[in-house]
């Protein structure tokens, strides 16, 4: 089953728009993991098992594994999600982007080595840098559009025109290109940050209902979950994958970390469900 | 010694603008590496040792290691360059870009885990996504500006204005931001592809002589090495790190692979030197 079909099934079955971000930072792990050489995998697995009921996706962030030399833990974590929680797709948050022959290697890294169902990608290098991802029709390609960080506007808000085209911010050009040109296989999503509710609305107006959004920035980054749903849901009340990482992972530093993570994921699910 | 000082010293000592790109593809390795479990490291090491005399930098491309699960080979390769060829800086080609807290993890990956002297980075997320790299004043940050691939213009050539600012292509905005705002520690470079000689000239005019360029796209991608030097060298005839990967690495598939790589690197050095 394709990533997009899996996602639609999961929205319906779990009645949840919540994506649990997996950003392991050993310094924040509960004390019981101190000295455990397998702490990165074990902590993430516990969070996955505790929150799966409330999740439409899991999103491991690869830098948090790579900085620790924990590629093996990431491989095992994706395999664990697929075997213990079949039907919940995994988005590998890697924001890759390079020329075509190298992008091909990144696609192998994400989809074949790690077995991710989707990967995040950066559009700055243009279409051919995304093509090896787009060509994998059964996998998802989650393209940066308007991000959630303070400096997002440095380039993304520059107002650009093209010959014969309307002047609009760069992020809207990206939205338009993805919707009209790059989504031929129907496997694209867009990253639009929760910290910018107006931009969510603008992008939804450009791309219509068929392109889901990955929305980071609720929780630790301060985005308003209800405003996200109000501004960006599709007509059927789905179309959103709302990601929270630190607020779920590190909800408690005590032995109740798994229960606290589950409660945080459930609360976000409920908040989002009330708003749609 | 900082990356930038190392690079300047190396330009002077080696009299070379050549960067040897290390993109291991086992299917292209000479037959003698068949079945060798350490082939990725061994092949790259042989290329490094054969071409060091003609190189101002080495540039391993991380996707080619990650797709193979060969992080260990990359760690050892960087360590080998530093120990056997001290004074030749290593640029890790990773094109990372993410929000600040994650960018911090990518900086640890590149500079601490792998020990790279510089890393390539993507500017789409704006200044705070680059800050953890910029803050490492002793390391280099090589920021994508105008890339060498066919789709580069999809976004990079969009003509953008800012309030009170002149309308110019996006890649020129990036050049200007790096030169005027982001290069406070003097540790930035720009990626400008060899396939676009006019853009090289335009970017040099914007940023002046103090910002070196990493120039991919000569060799397999077809860029004209002499046009690169003519359009983009700084006043003293340096300012360029001209990268060639496949044309050097795979110059011969026979047992003379190392000698053929050395000859290709020497020829590129000589071509570039004649033009400056």
Residue B220 confidence (pLDDT): 66
Instruction: Please name the residue of chain A whose CA is at the shortest distance from the CA of residue B121.
Output: A97
Give catalytic residues of A, as residue numbers: 95
Joined tokens for residue B63: 């996707």
B113, A156: Cβ pair inside 8 Å? no
Residues of A in contact with B91 (CB under 8 A): none
Two structure tokens written together for B119: 């890393």
| SS3 per-residue string spanning A54-111 | HCCEEEEEHHHHHCCCCHHHHHHHHHHHHHHCCCCCEEEEEEECCCHHHHHHHHHHHH
Average pLDDT of the residues of chain B: 96
Phi, psi dihedrals of residue A215, rounded to the nearest 5°:
-120, 100
Q: For residue B177, is pLDDT > 70?
A: yes
Residue A163 in this model has a pLDDT that exceeds 90 = no
Residues 6+ apart with CB under 8 A from A65: A24, A40, A71, A73, A74
CA distance A99 to A91: 22
- Name the band, by pLDDT with cuts 50, 70 and 90, for residue B207: very high
pLDDT value at B217 more than 90: no
Around Cβ A38, how many Cβ atoms within 10 Å? 13
Q: Is the ipTM of this complex over 0.90?
A: yes
Give the tokens for residue B220: 């397999």
Using the 8-state DSSP alphabet, how is residue A276 labeled? -
Closest CA to B78 of B96, B92, B93: B92
Structural tokens at position A102: 């190298």
Treating both helix axes as pointing N-terminal to C-terminal, what angle do A197-207 and A170-177 enclose, rounded to 10 degrees? 30
Overall CATH class of domain B3-275:
alpha beta
> Do residues A48 and A80 make contact, with C-beta atoms less than 8 angstroms apart?
yes
Rounded Cα distance between A185 and A66, Å, is: 31
pLDDT band at B163 (very low <50, low <70, confident <90, very high): low
* CB contact (8 A) between residue B122 and residue A123: no
| A109, A122, A153: residue with CB nearest B122 | A122
Percent of chain B topping pLDDT 90: 92
Label each residue of chain B as H, E or C: CCHHHHHHHHHHHHCCCEEEEECCCHHHCCHHHCCCCCHHHHHHHHHHHHHHHHCCEEEEEHHHHHCCCCHHHHHHHHHHHHHHCCCCCEEEEEEECCCHHHHHHHHHHHHHHCCCCEEEECCCCCHHHHHHHHCCCCCEEEEEEECCCHHHHHHHCCEEECCCCCCEEHHHHHHHHHHHHHCCCCCEEEEECCCCHHHHHHHHHHHCCCCCEEECCEHHHCECHHHHHHHHCCCCCCCEEEEECHHHHCCCCCCCHHHHHHHHHHHHHHHHHHHC
- Residue A86's contacts (CB-CB under 8 Å, 6 or more residues apart) are none
Residue of B nearest to A148 (CA): B99
Give the active site residues of B: 95
Quick one: which of B110, B131, B107 has its CA closest to B185?
B131
**Separation of alpha carbons B50 and B44, rounded Å:** 10
Of A137-146, A197-206, B96-105, B217-226, minimum mean pLDDT range: B217-226
Q: What is the pLDDT of residue B219?
A: 72
CB A119 within 8 A of CB A133: yes
CA A146 to chain B, closest CA, distance in angstroms equals: 8
Single pTM value for the model: 0.97
CA gap A202, A186 in Å, rounded? 21
Q: Which residue has the higher pLDDT, B40 or B222?
A: B40
Measured CA to CA, the distance from residue B238 to residue B273 in angstroms comes to 10
What is the pairing mode between strands B57-60 and B188-192?
Answer: unpaired
Residue A162 confidence (pLDDT) above 80: no
pLDDT at A259 over 90: yes
Distance separating alpha carbons of residues A116 and A141, to the nearest angstrom:
11
Give the integer Cα–Cα distance in Å for A213 and A140: 12
Question: For B50-101, how does the pLDDT look when each residue is reduced to its tens digit (9 = 90+)?
Answer: 999 999 999 999 999 999 999 999 999 999 999 999 999 999 999 999 999 9
For position B65, what pLDDT does the model report?
98
* Pairing status of strand B140-146 against strand B118-121: parallel
**At residue A131, does pLDDT exceed 80?**
yes
Gap between the Cα atoms of B162 and B229, Å rounded: 32
Q: What is the pLDDT of residues A78-101, one digit of tens each?
A: 999 999 999 999 999 999 999 999
Q: Is residue B46 pLDDT above 90, yes or no?
A: yes
Res. B136: pLDDT tops 70: yes
Q: Which tens digits make up the pLDDT trace of B190-201?
A: 999 998 889 999
Please judge whether A63 and B125 are an interchain contact, meaning their C-beta atoms are less than 8 angstroms apart.
Answer: no
* Dihedral sign computed on CA atoms, order A136, A137, A142, A146: positive
Q: Quick one: residue B222, left, alpha or beta (phi over 0 = left, psi -120 to 50 = alpha)?
A: left
Q: Whole-angstrom Cα distance, residue A187 to residue A211?
A: 9
Can you give the pLDDT at residue B165? 73
Residues of A in contact with B128 (CB under 8 A): 149-151
Residue-wise pLDDT for A18-57, tens only, equals 999 999 999 999 999 999 999 999 999 999 999 999 999 9
| Residue B261 near residue B251 (C-beta atoms within 8 A) | yes
Percent of chain A residues topping a pLDDT of 90:
92
Q: Which of B23, B27, B65, B102 to mutate to test the interface with A (most CBs of A within 10 A)?
A: B102
Q: How far apart are CA A223 and CA A219, in angstroms?
A: 7
For residue B149, the distance in angstroms to the closest alpha carbon of chain A comes to: 6
User: What is d(CA B32, CA B54) in angstroms, rounded to the nearest whole number?
Assistant: 25
C-alpha distance from A25 to closest chain B C-alpha (Å):
10
> Domain extents for chain B?
3-275
- Gap between the Cα atoms of A26 and B263, Å rounded: 48
Tokens of B54: 């003609």
The pLDDT of residue A171 is 97
Summarised one tens digit per residue, pLDDT across range A207-223 is: 999 999 999 988 766 77
Q: What is the DSSP string of A135-202?
A: T-TTSEEEEEEE-SSGGGHHHHT-EEE-TTS--EEHHHHHHHHIIIII-TTS-EEEEE-TT-HHHHHH
Mean pLDDT of chain A, nearest integer: 96
State the pLDDT confidence band at A103, using cuts at 50, 70 and 90: very high
């Amino acid at each position: 089953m394709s990533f997009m079909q899996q996602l639609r099934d999961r929205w319906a079955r779990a009645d949840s728009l919540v994506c649990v971000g997996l950003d392991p930072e050993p310094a924040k792990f509960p004390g019981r993991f101190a000295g455990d050489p397998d702490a990165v995998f074990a902590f993430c697995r516990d969070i996955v098992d505790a929150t799966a009921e409330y999740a439409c996706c899991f999103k491991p962030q690869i830098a948090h594994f790579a900085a620790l030399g924990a590629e093996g833990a990431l491989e095992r974590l994706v395999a664990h999600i697929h075997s213990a929680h079949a039907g919940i797709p995994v988005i590998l948050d890697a924001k890759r982007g390079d020329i075509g022959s190298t992008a091909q290697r990144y696609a192998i890294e994400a989809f074949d080595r790690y077995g991710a169902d989707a990967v995040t990608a950066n559009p700055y290098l243009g279409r051919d840098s995304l093509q090896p991802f787009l060509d994998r029709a059964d996998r998802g390609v989650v393209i940066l559009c308007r991000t959630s960080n303070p400096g997002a506007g440095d380039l993304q808000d520059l107002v650009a025109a093209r010959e014969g085209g309307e002047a609009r911010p760069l992020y809207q050009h990206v939205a338009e290109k993805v919707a009209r040109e790059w989504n031929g296989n129907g496997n694209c999503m867009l990253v639009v940050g929760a910290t910018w509710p107006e931009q969510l609305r603008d992008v939804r107006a450009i791309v219509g209902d068929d392109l889901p959004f990955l929305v980071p920035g609720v929780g630790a980054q301060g985005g308003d979950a209800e405003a996200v749903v109000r501004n960006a849901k599709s007509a059927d009340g789905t179309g959103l994958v709302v990601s929270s990482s630190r607020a779920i992972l590190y909800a408690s530093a005590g032995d109740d970390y798994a229960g606290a993570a589950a409660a945080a994921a459930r609360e976000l699910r409920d908040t989002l469900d009330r708003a749609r």
